[in-house]
Each structure stands twice: as C-alpha cells, then as structure tokens.
Amino acid sequence: MIDKLTQEQLNEWSYLQEQEIYEPLEQKNNRSELEENKEKKKQAQQSFNSSNEHLSKDAKQAIETLEKKEKIDEKIQEKQAELNEFKSPKQKREFLKNKLDNIKNNQNLKESLEILKEKEKLDEQIKAKEKEIKNENLKDNTNEIEKGKENQEEQGKKQNQGNSAEQDDWDKRAKELELQHEKELEALKEQQSKLEANFQKSIDNLMNSDGINGVITALQEMDRSLEMMLKQGKEESETKDKQRKEKLEMAFDSPNFKEVVGDLVKEVYKEQKKVKNGLTTMENEQINYTKLQSTYEKETKKGLDVKGYEKLKTMISNIEKETPNFKENYPKFYKKINDTLKQTKNKILNKSTNVLERN
C-alpha cells in the first residue's frame, strides 16, 4: 500500500516537475512571439507612415498640377468660346452672301430684279420732284401774300404809282419754274411707265422659261436668311411658303396668274433688300467687335484706370446705338466687357471711399 502510494506520489511529483519545467518555457515562447508580433507591427506602421508621407507629397503635387491644368483649360475654353463666337457671325455672313449670290446668278430672275431696282430709284426721284413742286407752290402762295401786303403799303404811300411791272416779271418767272418742274415730273412718270411695261415683259419671259419654281426657291432662301438673322421665325417662314404656293395654285388657270407671279418677284426683291441690309449690319458688327477687342486688350493689359474705363464705356455705348444686335451676336464678349466695366467701377469707387475715410 505504501509502495503503491509512494509510486503514485512519485508519478504526481514527476508530473508537477514537468509542469514547472515546461510552463515557463511555454510562457517564454509566448512572450517572444508577442514581442516579435509587436516589432513586426511597429515596422509595418513605420513603413505605412513612410509610404503615406510619400503618397501625400505626390498627391499634393498631383493636385497642384491639376489645379494649374484646370486654370489653363479654363483659359483655353474661354478663348475657344470667343473664337467660336467670332466664327458664328462669320459663318452667318458667308451663308447670307451665298444666298444673295444664288439670286444674283438666277438668270430667270435677273432681268426682272434689275428693272425693279431701276424703278425703285425712279419712284424716289418722282417723290422728290413732287415734294419740290409742292414746296414751290407753298412758297409762291406765301410770296403772293407778302407781295399783296407790300402793294397795299405802297398804295397807301403812293396812290398813283404802282409796281405792276415788277409784279408781272415775278409772276412770269414763277410760272416758268412751275412749268419746268411739271415737265421734269412728266418725263419721270413716262420713264416709270416704260419700266413697268418692261417689267411685265420680263415676267412673260420668266413664265415662258419655267422660272416660277426658281422664284419660289429664291423666296425660300430669303426666308432662311431672315431666320439666320433672327428677323423671322421658322414657323413664319413655313406659313409664308405655304401661302405662296396656294396663291399660285389658285391663280394658275385664271387671268390673274401673271399678276401673282409678278407680285412674288416683287417680294423676292423686297426680301433681298432686307437680307442685304442685314448683311451690311453684321459686317459693321464684325468691325466693331475687332475695334472693341483691340481696345479692351490694350487697356486691360496696362491696368484699367478711370480714363480707360470711360474709353471702354463710351465705345460700348456707341456700338449699342450703331449695331443694336451686337450683344445677341457676341453675347460672351459683350458680357465680358460689361463685367470688367462693373468690376473696375467698384474698384475705383472703393479706392475713392478709402481715401476719403483716411482724410
């Protein structure tokens, strides 16, 4: 029994001894592993911090580069917008010139349009001559009244003496002048009748050469040109085109057909004039744009002062009066000028206020 217990005790002591030996070793191993893990974590953190520093530096440089690029892109876009804005009216002008050239080179319309141009000039001369005659008659009536008063005064002073010879001479000259004006007016009206007859013949020639379709095409091109100039909407153009065709169709078998064709040719001439005037205005706008841009760059380069401000202000004001549609055809540039003027005005006023406050 004793031997058995002793053996059990020995076994237990042996186990306890092993525990005392291996437990410190296991704890040691665990501590070493923990320390090793801490070291690795520390190294990893240092490596991450180092990488993060480099990453932040590179990212900062990248952001700065992007900011510079954005500013350059903005300038490029601004210049491109100005260029496009300049090109757009130029393309419109070229479009209008092309449409006008098409009408000019239309042989079926050429004779009729040239006659209408001559007739228009003659009509203006007739109006001017009629106005001149009217003014002369008013003048004659006024002179007669004045002469009558003078005669009454003279008769009061000299009862038996008169100026009948002088009055007769004046009346004779007035009558000759009146007859001369009437003859000139008659000659002008005779030319007018001849031109009207020639116009009717040109319409006959146009109808015989199947040029009616050319008249409709010309009107369509003028409508498109007026749309381009913002003088007419597309819906209005379509309505007018439909009405013309219906008018032609209805008059085709009637005695009024020639008159209808003549009216359409007159409409071509009238619309052509509108487009020509619009083209001239757009060319003036382009000239004003060039002048204003040159002045703007020159003044802003040296720094806008009161004198430069007044110069630009006066210039843009005159342009608005001369070419009212300038701001519609060059909206970005127009806004740029006005924004600059507004900013300059505020700077000048603020500077003046600060000076007054210091004093």
Tens digit of each residue's pLDDT (9 = 90 or more) over 99-136: 999 999 999 999 999 999 999 999 999 999 888 888 87
Query: How confident is the prediction for the chain on average, in pLDDT?
Result: 80
- For 263-280, letters b (16+ CB in 10 Å) and e give ebbebbbebbeebeebbe
Q: Tell me, what's the pLDDT at 174? A: 76
Residue range 78-93, pLDDT digits in tens: 666 655 655 688 888 9
Q: What are φ and ψ of residue 164, in 5° steps?
A: -60, -35
Among candidate residues 67, 72, 178, the one with its CA nearest the CA of residue 129: 178
Confidence (pLDDT) at 4: 45
Quick check: helix, strand or coil at residue 50?
Answer: helix
Q: Which one-letter amino acid corresponds to residue 39?
A: E
The span from the CA of 101 to the CA of 118, in Å, is: 19
pLDDT of residue 295: 94
3-state SS, 98-144, equals: HHHHHHHCCHHHHHHHHHHHHHHHHHHHHHHHHHHHHHHHHHHHHHH
Per-residue pLDDT, averaged over 159-170, amounts to 61
What mean pLDDT do residues 165-181 have? Answer: 77
Task: Check residue 324 and report its DSSP letter.
Answer: T
Coil, strand or helix at 72? helix
Q: Is the pLDDT of residue 22 over 70?
A: no
* Residue in the block written with tokens 């005669």: 151
pLDDT given for residue 302 in this prediction: 87
For residue 15, count other CB atoms closer than 10 A to its CB: 10
The answer to whether the pTM exceeds 0.85 is: no
Cβ atoms 248, 260 nearer than 8 A: yes
pLDDT tens digit string along 205-222?
999 887 899 999 999 999
pLDDT tops 90 at residue 259:
yes
